[in-house]
Amino acid sequence: MAYRIGFPFWRFISNLGIPVAIRIDVFWDQQAKVFVATSPDLRGMVAEAPTMSSLESEVDTSIDDLLTDELGNHHGPTIKHYRAVQSYPA
């Protein structure tokens, strides 16, 4: 079980090395032809990529960078929960 980013004391929990969870909302930008990921839990979390697999890599990098900026290098692991906010192309 992971404690969710944004809940009270999440920074303290993460610095203890306890896993934290983050919601990732994903949608397809038809005009730009890319998948876009944002998070209501972590301010500044935005990533885009042409495929879902490359988007997941971008999300991992973005989350690690944002948490390092916010918490320093001692944050615990992050468990990502992806949620489609609109349908994807076939």
Residues shown for the chain: 90
In the chain, the largest separation of any two C-alpha atoms, in whole Å, equals 42
Cα first-last separation, the chain: 33
Which helix or strand (DSSP H or E) is residue 47 part of? strand 46-49
pTM, two decimals, is 0.84
* Assigned CATH topology for domain 3-84: TTHA1013/TTHA0281-like (3.30.2390)
The string of pLDDT tens digits covering residues 71-83 is 887 788 889 999 8
Amino acid at 60: D
pLDDT digit string (tens) for 18-28?
Answer: 899 999 999 99
pLDDT at residue 69 is higher than 70:
yes
DSSP state, 32?
Answer: T
